[in-house]
Amino acid sequence: MKRTIGILLAVLMLASVCGAAFADNAPAASKKETEQKILSLQEEYPDSVFYDNEGMFLPIPKAYSALVTVETPEKNEYGELFSVSETASIKAAEATGQYTAGAGWLFSISRVTEEQLHQMLCYLMFGSEVFGRDEDGMYYLFEHPTDVRIVRESYDNMDADMAIWSELNQWAWQEKEDFMTVNPGVHAEARG
């Protein structure tokens, strides 16, 4: 009996060590592939900076990269891959002690299953638009605020601030097409 338990423990330890070794190697291999893909994208689109999450890539024009903050949540329960906000609004909200969640939010891109999408369609999807689908049957959503999220410590220079804010919003609405361009497995979803 002791011998059987000893052998069983040895097998379990070996399996856990091998599993850990494989787990450690898997992200390294995918990290290398991701780095290579980003280098390739940067060569093809030299005027963009790229963010990655779960095998997907988001291009941000270099002209806007210093103006925005990009979040790439890991394994988000709602499928969010990327969330992009205006950095000046985030800093202003922090400086004034305002609630920072949503400050300066421009858009998010999420990926959901068909079942998740059907659940979402049972409710109003204000601020969400299905724009793409991939070969695995996953749907891509462009999510945007339905109100204005600009925040400033002082609104004395509002004309200049609104000019930047408007330019960022115009760009944000074009990001769906740019996303599909750099992620060729995602195709525009036909609308009926």
Cα–Cα dist 32/191, whole Å:
37
pLDDT mean over 107-112: 97
pLDDT digits (tens, 9 = 90+) for 124-159: 788 999 999 999 999 999 999 999 999 999 989 999
pLDDT digits (tens, 9 = 90+) for 169-181: 999 999 999 999 9
Cα distances (angstroms) measured from residue 128 to each of 4, 14, 118: 57, 48, 13
pTM of the model: 0.81
Radius of gyration over every alpha carbon of the chain, rounded to an integer in angstroms: 22
